[in-house]
Structure 1
Amino acid sequence: MKSYTDLTGKYLKGQKKRSLLTIFGIILSVTLLTSIGTIGMSYWDKSVRQTLRDFGDYHVSLNGISGEAVPKVKNNATVKSAGVISREGYAVIKEANEKEKKEDPFAAPYRYLNVKEYDASAMNMLHPQLDSGRYPENPNEIIILSSSLSYFSKQPKLGETITLNLGIRKVASTGEDKKINGLGDFGWDLDETFQAQSQKEYTVVGFMKPSSTGSWSSRYIFPAITFNDNKSIDNNKNYFIYVKMKSLNDIKKKTEDLMSSLQLSNVEQGSAMQLDRESYIENVRIEYNNELLKLYGKSTYEGVNNSLTLAFTAVITIIMICTIAMIYNIFHISVLERISQFGMLRCIGATPAQIRKIVLQEAALLSLIGIPIGILTGTLFMKVLFYNISLLTLGFLNDIRMVISAPVLITAGLLGLLSVFLSAIGPAKQAARVSPLEALKNVGSTKVEKITKIKKSLLVKTLFGIVGQFASRNLQRNKKRFRITAFSMIISIILFIVFSGLVGFIQQTTQISGMQYSYSLSYNGPSGRIDDTVYKHIAKLNAVEQAYKFYNNQVMAIIPKDKINPKYYEFNKNRYVVSEGEGYRTDNNYLTSYGDNGLDALKSKLITGKIDKEKMNQENGVIVQQKITMTTEEGKQLILDQTRFKVGDHIKIRTFDRGQKGYQTVTVVGIVDQDLLSKEYNSSHVVSFITTPKVYSNIMGSDIYSRIFILAKPEISNHMITDYLKSLPEKDAGFNYTDKVEELAQAKNDAKTFSIFFYGFIGVIVLIAFLNIINTVSTNLILRTNEFATLKAIGMTRKEVRKMIILEGVFYGLFSAVIGIILGTALDYGIHLLFTGALDADWVFPWYSIGIAFAGSMITTILATIGPMYRLNKVSIADALRSVN
């Protein structure tokens, strides 16, 4: 041995169990960092790809740019690439006949194809989703919407040629050209006619899937896309340009500078909506693809960017602190239990600097072993998780891919190394401060223990006897060791509560959008009524799981002033302006019924109250849906109650028909956050009153329903449903139906997949926390072998030693659970506050997580004591007393 530091390697070899436990702790910490980093990168990658599909791969769109400005935009120094779209014209594929106009007074005069020209860049940026075929590659090829095929006199097939008479839409009464909004896929008028201008032949090379965000006019206007390389630009034509910037920094200013360079005025600005959906515009309109930009932290809403950055920084900081704490505990316990060894080294001449170097060398050697293994195990653990998700092939995450990111792995390794050295510095300094004489007198501390200061607990003695008092005194006798071990458990509890709250928050703010049903049948004929024979026929079909009659009408209501949520009132004071009595008269309310079977299904969604149909009929009972989601002008998403009604409250409502009764009083019998067929919160600022058909009829003076929602059985073919629904418009043009079978299946799978993914993520946290507690508590007990041998030597039986060890575990668990729950809940709330700049939802006290954390803490600490306890009992007293450990 050339120097004292040569002892490092020999010590690690000689104390294999202790070294392995320390390495295991480092592996756990690095595994945690690698797993969280990999999950985060993979989820971000999936979110980006999903957003690109839904909203397009562009940063800014300029709608209505004149032809002369197109080259200037494409050649601008800040622009990386630009996709150009123009309107080629409309083509009539079916004209409404007299029978259809009579049966459906609101039917559009024509069903159109809206032919648009995309260049290659636009096709790549907006990538329309295909059912079959391919994208057009020349101006004579076209792709059309699958749902438009039934309106052709002869349905075209792939590879066939169609002839379209392209032209413009005009206002029938004035002969003026009809103003077209945006790309023109939405918006029609009864007072319009069509004027053909040219004829063109196209080869059909593909069929597009319908947009998931189609509106009421999508039954009459169907998009079709052809190709144009835009080598020649028509200066008299308006174009739609989708731009990708070279840099996302200050994107709003760069766009404004770009527009200034074009010398364009009267520009409207907004946020991108779903693909192919346009706002009403005047001249040029700028739309920022904020759904994509916010994933890069570069949205046009600074408040949103800062809030998300701070929130995720806080989460990463918590992970870092917890990781350092885990490793610190291991090193600290190891050093405390080796104080006598360091004291001996000091007695034979070792300097404090050499002692520090010994501890830091240990940290370096253990890091070289533990960190690579931790990176490997974290990666393999994630590989298993993602493989199992891929087998399920469910919904939103069915194409999630595991992203093994070199920066993530390198960062996990560096953070692990930093954590180890930060963890070792404190114990190294403490070891260097050891007084040789004191250390030799007292194993496990740098100071002489003052036993007289230990407090006696009458409660512990009464409950657990003298053995319980021994357990309590053991913890008090070496408070530093107790705090270190408890701290490790506290960290694990904090991790669980914080990440459980984070998962719950993400689930709350990523509700699956749209009403969830298989089919919707509606009737727009003169009577406005669906005959009961139609409903009965549908309900009897074997493939139908449930069919709900949908009664719905707008009503006026007087909302008492004390029932208005003040937070909502701050943002929407114009909603409550007409005073009447002790409240405000509002007209954005709806009285709704899904039939008696709908009320039965709604019971599972009740937040409070009870559904009793007979009582509701007697008292004009209603169930109030008052929670909404809204976005402020700053881009902040809010989830809040618009009103604050409670069970037993009375509300005055009336119809808009002055011929009907005046105000009638309804009684609140229940509260729901979501509608019967919805997995999301209402976004239309509507207060819905859901009731029975009888109450609806009494208040509205009518029992007419014009819509039926159908839930199909997934295990049975739906042909009998679709065949019947297709037959109805042939008999009466007032009927039309929507098919959402595929979308409903996707939505259900999304909900399952989110749960699997998020709770799998929580499972990673729980497993690592469990192993960390087992490791820390076990290490503490094993390193006290000679102490337990001493107790046996002075007369304590094996049974009493076992009881004492278990009670120590219980006391560890109780103390850690209380502190961990308090700190974890506070941090959970703090992170929620940081997120409120972007996503403001009600904070829910984490009772469920607290219960699991408390029970888990107690069970884990008891389990952690069982293994070491039996090992200690097998060691003979003489052997244990001969050994330092």
Structure 2
Amino acid sequence: MITAVASLGVSFMDMVRRQTISNEGEWHVLYENVNKMQLEAIKNDEETKDVILSRDTGYAFLEGSQNDNKPYIFIREYNEEGFENFPIELKEGRFPKKENEIAISEAIITSAKVNYKMGDVLTLDIGQRYAKDEQGDNMILSQTSRLRKSEGILQEELIKENTKTYTIVGVIERPTWEPTWSPGYTVLSYIDENIMSSQGKVNASVILNHIDSGLFEHGKKLASENGIESVGFNYNLLTYYGVVANDRVRNMLFTLSAIIMVIIMIGSISLIYNAFAISVSERSRHLGMLSSVGATKKQKRNSVFFEGAVIGGISIPIGIIAGLAGIGVTFMLINSMLKEALGVSESLRLVVLPATILVAMLVSIITILISTYIPAKRASNISAIDAIRQTADVKITEKEVKTSKLTRKIFGIEGELGLKNLKRNKARYRATVLSLIISMVLFLAVSYFTFSLEKSLLLSQDGVNYDITVYFYDKDREKQEDMIGKITSLDNISESNYIATLDAGTRIEEDAMADYLKGNHENILENGKYPYHISLKALNDEALEAYAKEVGVDFTKLSDTEKPSAIVIDTIKYEEAQTNKYVETKAVKTKIGEKLDLEFYDSEFEQYMPIESVEIATLTDKVTMGISSVGFMGSFNMIVSEDVFNKFVEDNKNMIESTNTTLFLKSNDPLSLQEDIEEIQKSYEQYGMSIYNVYMARQREEQMIVIMSIFTYAFILLITSICVANIFNTISTGIALRKREFAMLKSVGMTSKSFNKMINYESIFYGIKALVYGLPISFAMMYLIYRTLMMKFRFGFEIPWVSVFIAIAAVFIIVGVAMLYSSKKVKKENIIDALKQEII
């Protein structure tokens, strides 16, 4: 088990590490904007293995581009190591080897429809994109900044810095780091550090020789000593090497590992100790005879230790091989599911570290030593007379085995005898009960953890009642309607809804504020009113009519543009900034029939502009497809008709530019539907639209829960197997040691029926005792898990009663089967032979 758990952790980290390198490239430390002298210092550092050079040269207009939303070429330069270590897929030709060579993105040919060919020579005016910020100052726009455009006119400026001539030597796939909304198609050129000027600046991504926690301090020290202003670290990758800058995270990882090891050791020690204790008990007369002929305490103690050493010498190698084989087979079975769930290209492979084997061996040896110490000590102290007479095993008083009159009244003489026996053999009784408790607590804790994960997933997906979203960037209504019409006419769509959204505002009287806003937000009040953010959403007539019927509102009232009215979703779920918890509450305390004065912040004039007064037709907590009650503090959703929405925005171009239109789709085959939409997207790419498959994301999360459940329940199965083996071992040995006792009871008239009742009552007492201790501990563990999850979510504490009932039934089944199996052996014993038997 220890080998399997440790190998699982190491192998999973290896897979995620390889996947991160595949997605983002391999580097550990980044030194930004370094000159030639600083670069030499980095290369000469003893910890540096390889240096990847990169530089963003800037933008140039892409002449002949037919995609209005991507009018630029974006030029990035790498040295040879950059092309090798970053995830760049070459489709045709080769990578650049000179400063005047480039590899272009295939999207320039397929999307922008620019017919570039290998060997073409391009002369580009290269510069940076600039736009005005809120203060009116120029700010540089990056590749992650969307194109600033209004009514087809660019709201940004490309300021030329230099002119360069390039020859096309290769074609690459669109790089994964280029967002779909980026305004420039990526092309790659070459950095030749040999001709780099002393004033030239590059970014140096370093691959280290040794990866340990000291790299953070070393990187900062190197940057400080050489005047490098900015140093960063690849935390995504370093975390999967087990190197984290945060001591609290490191401590948490070590603590979790320690907890797992302790759980395994507790279960193992319980089983092994019990086995040795029973072995010593069985051999007590033999040990006494050895004492009578001169065996010393040390010799008797060493005989038990030797037995443990022999068992360890055989079991540890077998256990290591079995653990590695088991986890290897598990990887083979779940790899396909894992790839689909995580959307990864890498597979889990069995990684065996010498440290893993060493830890498994050390923990196993320590476990065996602890398990054998007490029985060995007991064996060494036993006297010859006590051992031969076998009086050391059971030393009790009348008080210790006394039972209440109620026990005999309820269970009869058989139940009283069974309870007395449990009290008389407390060691075996406690070992069995402890094993049952461990199995129950682990099963219920993991069941609750999985149950809570599923509930957390539902909370995080609250309002996500659709499978695919299509977001439209272009504000031209005719183009939008044309695209929406073609998409909604596709097969595999069970329901569709498109929603136009505008961010607006209103002022709410202080007494109508939400409770969570009171106490800390009075300073925001203006003339006794609180400024609320409103997400104004327009539904098409068909969707609005169905939604209005659901919430009990007249659809014709909502369609009246002369007297605008709206549905207000007055319930909100938001994430508290201080606690990071999801909270559900009332967003506003207004009433049906009241009017809200809407306003819009016009960034051009830098002031709020009045829209119109809207009457509240109804208040509801129900949402329709594409609308969520999840928001932020001081906000709520308002639903209006398409005609009312168009009336609000038709005369204000800035308001039109601020609207967003999204199409929400439900499908019986979301994957095929996405492929069909992508075909449509190819012909409309110049108008700007993006697709997000919510179904796939939801499937990945659900499959991740399944995978986690497989690993956690497999772990519980292993622990439970140890506990069940312990229970069977304890009960069967205990029954075997009681052959003479059973023979005596039969000799004084106990029938087979009474004997069976006694055994059954003993099983019941075992189960009851385990439940008395196990259930409260399990509930406490569940609550601890609940409190941990409350760091991120907020939902009521619920006990998974189905799992509890399964655990209760399993306890009695395990004990009952063990007792039945063991008692069958003694039923066939001859009474006279059993009474005459002196040595078991």
TM-score normalised by structure 1 residue count: 0.75
3-state SS of paired residue (2:690)? strand
Please show how residues 645-656 of structure 1 align to structure 2 within 5 Å.
645=585, 655-656=598-599
Is it true that 1:168 corresponds to 2:135 in the alignment? Answer: no
Q: CA deviation at 1:523?
A: 4.8
Is it true that 1:258 corresponds to 2:203 in the alignment? Answer: no
Q: Aligned equivalents of 1:227 and 1:143: distance in 2?
A: 9
Match of 1:404 among 352, 360, 363: 352
Is it true that 1:613 corresponds to 2:550 in the alignment? Answer: yes
Q: Aligned equivalents of 1:700 and 1:433: distance in 2?
A: 97
Q: CA deviation at 1:708?
A: 0.9
Matching residue of 1:525:
475
Shift in CA distance, 780/307, structure 1 to aligned 2, threshold 3 Å: closer
Report Cα offsets for 1:820-842 as digits up to 9, x if no partner. Answer: 34445545666888999xx8666
Is it true that 1:496 corresponds to 2:459 in the alignment? Answer: no
Q: Aligned equivalents of 2:772 and 2:545: distance in 1?
A: 42
3-state SS of paired residue (2:611)? coil
Matching residue of 2:187:
224
Is it true that 1:819 corresponds to 2:773 in the alignment? Answer: yes
Matching residue of 2:433:
486
Decide whether the 8 Å contact of 1:131 with 1:208 is kept in 2: no
Please show how residues 701-712 of structure 1 align to structure 2 within 5 Å.
706-710=661-665
Q: Aligned equivalents of 1:803 and 1:134: distance in 2?
A: 85
Match of 2:340 among 394, 397, 402: 394
Matching residue of 1:564:
516
Give the letter for the 2:190 counterpart: F
Decide whether the 8 Å contact of 1:523 with 1:529 is kept in 2: no
Q: Aligned equivalents of 1:465 and 1:698: distance in 2?
A: 81
3-state SS of paired residue (1:661)? strand
Shift in CA distance, 691/814, structure 1 to aligned 2, threshold 3 Å: farther
Shift in CA distance, 382/565, structure 1 to aligned 2, threshold 3 Å: farther
- Name the larger-Rg structure: 2
Please show how residues 660-675 of structure 1 align to structure 2 within 5 Å.
660-661=612-613, 667=619, 669=621
Give the letter for the 2:664 counterpart: F
Shift in CA distance, 87/716, structure 1 to aligned 2, threshold 3 Å: closer
Q: Aligned equivalents of 2:241 and 2:456: distance in 1?
A: 19
3-state SS of paired residue (2:613)? coil
Q: Aligned equivalents of 1:457 and 1:699: distance in 2?
A: 83
TM-score normalised by structure 2 residue count: 0.78
Shift in CA distance, 91/853, structure 1 to aligned 2, threshold 3 Å: farther
Shift in CA distance, 78/868, structure 1 to aligned 2, threshold 3 Å: same
Q: Aligned equivalents of 2:670 and 2:796: distance in 1?
A: 35
Q: CA deviation at 1:95?
A: 6.2
Q: Aligned equivalents of 1:321 and 1:699: distance in 2?
A: 69
3-state SS of paired residue (1:287)? strand
3-state SS of paired residue (1:656)? strand
Please show how residues 645-724 of structure 1 align to structure 2 within 5 Å.
645=585, 655-657=598-600, 658-661=610-613, 667=619, 669=621, 689=636, 706-710=661-665, 713-714=669-670, 716=672, 720-724=676-680
Q: CA deviation at 1:617?
A: 8.0
Q: CA deviation at 1:388?
A: 0.8
Q: Aligned equivalents of 2:316 and 2:627: distance in 1?
A: 50
Matching residue of 1:578:
524
Is it true that 1:239 corresponds to 2:239 in the alignment? Answer: no
Q: Aligned equivalents of 2:457 and 2:80: distance in 1?
A: 33
Shift in CA distance, 806/416, structure 1 to aligned 2, threshold 3 Å: farther
Is it true that 1:317 corresponds to 2:262 in the alignment? Answer: yes
Give the letter for the 1:113 counterpart: I
Is it true that 1:35 corresponds to 2:4 in the alignment? Answer: yes
Report Cα offsets for 1:312-353 as digits up to 9, x if no partner. Answer: 333433333333333223323433444444344444443332
Decide whether the 8 Å contact of 1:78 with 1:247 is kept in 2: no
Q: Aligned equivalents of 1:699 and 1:440: distance in 2?
A: 100
Q: Aligned equivalents of 1:628 and 1:56: distance in 2?
A: 34
Give the letter for the 1:549 counterpart: Y
3-state SS of paired residue (2:585)? coil
Total equivalences in the alignment: 782
Decide whether the 8 Å contact of 1:773 with 1:861 is kept in 2: no
For structure 1, the residue ranges without an aligned partner over 5 or more in a row are 1-31, 101-106, 268-284, 603-610, 633-637
Decide whether the 8 Å contact of 2:312 with 2:368 is kept in 1: yes
Report Cα offsets for 1:665-722 as digits up to 9, x if no partner. Answer: 97463699xx9699xx98x967775676669969996898722134562574766534
Is it true that 1:847 corresponds to 2:799 in the alignment? Answer: yes
Q: Aligned equivalents of 1:260 and 1:504: distance in 2?
A: 50
Match of 1:429 among 358, 377, 394: 377
Matching residue of 2:724:
774
Please show how residues 63-462 of structure 1 align to structure 2 within 5 Å.
63-93=32-62, 111-125=71-85, 127-128=86-87, 130=89, 132=91, 136=95, 138-139=97-98, 142-155=102-115, 161=120, 163=122, 165-169=124-128, 180=140, 184=143, 186=145, 188-189=147-148, 190-193=155-158, 195=160, 197-211=163-177, 214=179, 217-218=181-182, 220-245=183-208, 246-264=210-228, 267=229, 285-392=230-337, 393-396=339-342, 399-442=347-390, 446-457=393-404, 460-462=407-409
Q: Which moved more, 1:521-530 or 1:498-507?
A: 498-507
Q: Aligned equivalents of 2:271 and 2:12: distance in 1?
A: 26
Shift in CA distance, 166/340, structure 1 to aligned 2, threshold 3 Å: farther
Match of 2:754 among 800, 824, 829: 800
Decide whether the 8 Å contact of 1:493 with 1:824 is kept in 2: yes
Q: Aligned equivalents of 1:131 and 1:710: distance in 2?
A: 35
Q: CA deviation at 1:519?
A: 5.4
Matching residue of 2:690:
738
Q: Aligned equivalents of 1:406 and 1:601: distance in 2?
A: 65
For structure 2, the residue ranges without an aligned partner over 5 or more in a row are 149-154, 556-565, 601-609, 651-658
3-state SS of paired residue (2:195)? coil
Q: Aligned equivalents of 2:54 and 2:40: distance in 1?
A: 13
3-state SS of paired residue (1:564)? helix
Q: CA deviation at 1:370?
A: 1.6
Report Cα offsets for 1:556-608 as digits up to 9, x if no partner. Answer: 48698884399xx9xxx8x8852479996454x64568889999999xxxxxx
Cα RMSD, aligned residues only? 4.8
Q: CA deviation at 1:757?
A: 2.4
Match of 1:541 among 479, 490, 494: 490
Q: Which moved more, 1:754-763 or 1:875-884?
A: 875-884
Q: CA deviation at 1:142?
A: 4.4
Give the letter for the 2:710 counterpart: G
Decide whether the 8 Å contact of 1:294 with 1:305 is kept in 2: no
Q: Aligned equivalents of 1:370 and 1:536: distance in 2?
A: 69
Percent of paired sites with the same residue: 21
Decide whether the 8 Å contact of 2:501 with 2:535 is kept in 1: yes
Match of 2:28 among 35, 56, 59: 59
Q: Aligned equivalents of 2:374 and 2:643: distance in 1?
A: 72
Q: Aligned equivalents of 2:672 and 2:781: distance in 1?
A: 49
Q: CA deviation at 1:36?
A: 1.1
Decide whether the 8 Å contact of 1:171 with 1:193 is kept in 2: yes
Q: Aligned equivalents of 1:778 and 1:710: distance in 2?
A: 56
Give the letter for the 1:737 counterpart: M
3-state SS of paired residue (1:57)? coil
3-state SS of paired residue (1:231)? helix
Decide whether the 8 Å contact of 1:166 with 1:199 is kept in 2: no
Q: CA deviation at 1:116?
A: 0.9
Q: Aligned equivalents of 1:201 and 1:150: distance in 2?
A: 20
Give the letter for the 2:818 counterpart: A
Decide whether the 8 Å contact of 2:457 with 2:701 is kept in 1: no
Give the letter for the 2:5 counterpart: I
Give the letter for the 1:325 counterpart: S
Shift in CA distance, 459/670, structure 1 to aligned 2, threshold 3 Å: farther
Matching residue of 2:655:
none
Shift in CA distance, 617/323, structure 1 to aligned 2, threshold 3 Å: farther
